[in-house]
Chains A and B, each alone.
Chain A
Amino acid sequence: MLSDDVRFHLTYSIGKEPADASPADLCRALSLAVRQRLTDVRLATERRYSERDAKRVYYLSMEFLIGRSLDNNLLNLGLRDEAEKLLSARGSSLDSVLPQERDAALGNGGLGRLAACFLDSLATLGMPGYGYGIHYEFGLFKQEIVNGEQRERPDHWFAHDSPWIVEHLDEACLVPVYGHVEHQLDRAGNYNPMWLGWKVLIGVPHDLPVVGWEGKTVNVLRLYSARASDEFDMQIFNDGDYFKAVEQKAASETVSKVLYPSDSLAAGRELRLVQEYFLVACAVRDIVRRYTKAHASFDAFPSKVAIQLNDTHPALTVAELMRLLVDEESLDWDRAWEITRAALGYTNHTLLPEALEKWSVPLFEKVLPRHLQIIYEINRRFLEEVSIRFPGDVARLRDMSIVEEGETKQIRMAYLSIVGSHSVNGVAALHSELVKSTLVPRFHEMWPERFHNKTNGVTPRRWLLGANPGLAALVTEAIGPGWVSDLDRLRGLDALAGDAAFQEKFAAVKRENKVRLAALIRSLTRAKVDPDSLFDVQIKRIHEYKRQLLLVLHVIHDYFRLVQDGDVSGPPRTYVFAGKAAPGYAVARRIIRLINSVGEVIRKDPRVKGRIEVVFLPDYRVSLAEAIVPAADLSEQISTAGKEASGTGNMKLSMNGALTIGTLDGANVEIREEVGPENFFLFGLTAPEVERMRRERSWDPWGVYQTDAGVRRVMDSLAGDVFCPWHPGHFLPIFRRILGEGDEYFHLADFGSYEEAHRRVGETFLDRPAWRAMAIRNVARTGKFSSDRTIREYAEEVWGVAPVL
């Protein structure tokens, strides 16, 4: 019985009288009781995989944005009701216990959350899938808003005290870094480069169980922390140099200390390169260890091992696997290369040139001298292949080289990933096309068969069943419970979209979610918002290409229309923003300040009379998203076309019955196709139009400013002190960013079309039956965006893995 185990853990793991247990104690005891069950299934799952000698897939990612685990684990194990009963018997409830768990924020945003959703789907589908990542001591920073500005605090997420994580010191591995290559001859007189003079780190694995729906499979997310080598420390301690020993230990352990925020110019930072290698070295060693337990040679490696690189962060896998096969296992180069390419797949996540990783050769040589040699050799052979295929085309060789020439040579990690993998995919149909046509067209020309698309997805267990129990119950009542593991069944709701009784129930669920979010908003910001207003939501990392600024410009426009023009058309609106800005990204930080300042001015203006409310919810993270998503009416997916790879927030919101206002960017394109153009508020330039204007340099934001009085009024308010009476000119840099620096992200180019779309949103929202029907159709038609579908596609087309049930 779960209750017996909870009592046991309260007494023996926590050391308290069960009657004195706090909600935090109950959370921990319940988690430990659940972990027991997960452990049983995990061991059985591993036995099953080993007995069948199943092909395994390894998902390497620098980020896993896991969030909280207890509720998800209870749901997937079918223990939620039992847990609720036992807590109720103790005078408590899941509502008070679940928030006690800290989010495991080991990621920045979409890429890390995608990795977590994929692990859920792998386990649900009964596939042997392992995550490999870093056990950061500090996850992504905690965000506080002080005087409207972002402040960062370290997020010590209980890394060493999570009830879910078990350390396996016995499986620790040794990771050499730095050093030099000595050019020697081997016994036969052949060239034999030797990697010597390295320092050594110890990689200690920590396993986090990942349970699938209905609890039949428990896979593992293996996170490594870096430790100093005990032997080194002991010797220095013995010599009496205590401080040196502590310094050395601290330096080694820095490697897994902190997650780098994205957009923080990680490239060029030595520690980040060491982190990336640390992950790759630990993972590859562990993968080979598991493989060689059951196989005497490497012949079967590609038929037993698939490794997926989540972006270029683990791209060093190409060089590390080659090094291990050639140097340690003495395979000849060609055979090792065949094995490496057959085992590896690469997922591209970005088209932004500044986000494509490159490492300077001098830094690379310092940190990984032997790997640099291997990369040079990979590149030499690759360029030879290119020159045979395209004789005399020197420009092509320069363009495609893994080593970028220049004042300081750079290693292009995306190219290394493409050359070293048998599969390259983007994460939405449009994005995958752009990868082929604009990002790496020459590679596509070389190996067209290697490129394909795998549109992202999200797990419906967390993002619908768990986050929106009211809607989940209504859906189950209408079409049965099968949708949880077969999301296409949501189509069954389509027939109910116009059904008045169903609409009423659907609207009641949405209102209840909005009331709950309103209470949360009140507690986080002290703002009082009207649950009957239109909840217009933009929640995501703050970045100029995602265009939070465009929504702010709209809010200002809306505000002036109301207070200066007396226009009261459209419904009252509550604009909900949340998201973190990278600490070093000044413009993004200023946008947060602007959102808060606009909100403050509007709130204090008696003329607004509650028709507009703007809130910025601090510390956006998985658990906050789980509260916002079910309550959203309108989902803002308004990135500059051609910039967003896929997005997954767009899927979560649509799945929960929010209508999308969006550009034809990322997965918006496919969401619109699925839900129907009539259930989607489209606006803005298309990716080819943006590209053409960029190419022709025909985009002139000043032209719009001069001809459109509405735009001028909004922009002038940024140049003046309307929103910053405390510091006139504070938002001038944003004004200049758009009008002085060419509006790189086409805010004003899309502004008119965006306003028009917002006008349609307002009108439709006032037609309640029409809005509800559209919202129901959104839920009904998002089956495609289950990560189960994505994983099935990867499994069949890239990995060659099958369920092992």
Chain B
Amino acid sequence: MQVEERSVGSYTVVTVVDARIDAQGADDFRAEITRVAQGGNRRILLDLSEVTFIDSTGLGAIIASLKQLGPDGDLVICGARNSVGSLFRLTRMDKVFRIFATSDEALAALAAG
């Protein structure tokens, strides 16, 4: 699982570069989030703009990552394409995560508190 990360304000923006988060990549994904969190920042903006498909294991990994970040942490989603966004709605994960259309929009909203 290839990810890129950068810090913007109080969040670390983690961009998933792979096109898929599925059963094959779910463990890697969680490991990447753990690594970022262990780096000190438990507030993550997950940019999914490069992702075209997430299966239910991938979605489960995102949920598990949120739990792993704990009550002080945060996991915010941005950039989800239609196909990915529809899966968030299907599972009702859109009601758990804050979801923004783009990273800029997300960062502006997060900065505004």
Contacts and interface: CB of A to CB of B under 8 A. Distances in A.
Partners in one complex: yes
Nearest to B89: A328
A198 B96 contact: no
Contacts of A179: 56
Given A182-B63, A239-B24, A194 B91 contact: yes
A200 B86 CA distance: 14
A186 B56 contact: no
Interface string A229-244: 1011001000100000
Nearest to B90: A328
A192 B56 contact: no
Contact of A197 (B20, B60, B92, B98): B60
B90 A327 contact: yes
Nearest to A178: B56
A232 B23 CA distance: 9
Interface residues of A, number: 26
A197 B56 contact: yes
B96 A184 contact: yes
A194 B92 contact: yes
Contacts of A330: 89, 94-95
Contacts of A49: none
Interface in A162-202: 174, 176, 179, 182, 184-187, 192-200
A330 B99 CA distance: 14
Interface in A322-343: 327-330
Contact of A235 (B22, B59, B91, B97): B22
Contacts of B94: 330
A196 B60 contact: yes
B100 interface: no
A192 B63 CA distance: 13
A249 to B, nearest CB: 15
Given A176-B90, A231-B22, A327-B89, A196 B96 contact: no
Contact of A193 (B24, B86, B92): B92
Contacts of A195: 90-92
A182 B90 CA distance: 13
Interface string A207-240: 0000000000000000000000101100100010
A196 B55 contact: no
B53 A198 contact: no
Contacts of A176: 56, 90
B36 interface: no
Contacts of B69: none
Contacts of A193: 92
A184 B96 CA distance: 8
Interface of B: 20, 22-24, 53, 55-57, 59-60, 63, 83, 86-87, 89-98
B81 to A, nearest CB: 13
A186 B60 CA distance: 15
B95 A186 contact: yes
Given A187-B98, A194-B63, A196-B63, A327 B53 contact: no
Given A176-B90, A328-B90, 7 more contacts: A174-B87, A192-B92, A194-B96, A197-B56, A197-B60, A200-B55, A235-B22
A119 B94 CA distance: 39
A328 B85 CA distance: 10
- Specify which of A185, A235, A239 lies most central, judged by the most chain B CB atoms within 10 Å of its CB: A235
A204 to B, nearest CB: 16
B82 to A, nearest CB: 11
A329 B90 CA distance: 9
A192 B95 contact: yes
A327 B22 CA distance: 22
Contacts of B92: 186, 192-195, 327
Contacts of B55: 200, 229, 231-232
A196 B87 CA distance: 10
A187 B91 CA distance: 15
Contacts of A197: 56-57, 60
A192 B94 CA distance: 10
Contacts of A192: 92, 95-96
Contacts of A328: 86, 89-90
22 contacts: A174-B83, A174-B86, A176-B90, A184-B63, A185-B96, A186-B92, A186-B96, A187-B95, A187-B97, A187-B98, A195-B90, A196-B56, A196-B59, A196-B91, A197-B57, A198-B56, A231-B20, A232-B22, A327-B90, A327-B92, A328-B86, A330-B95
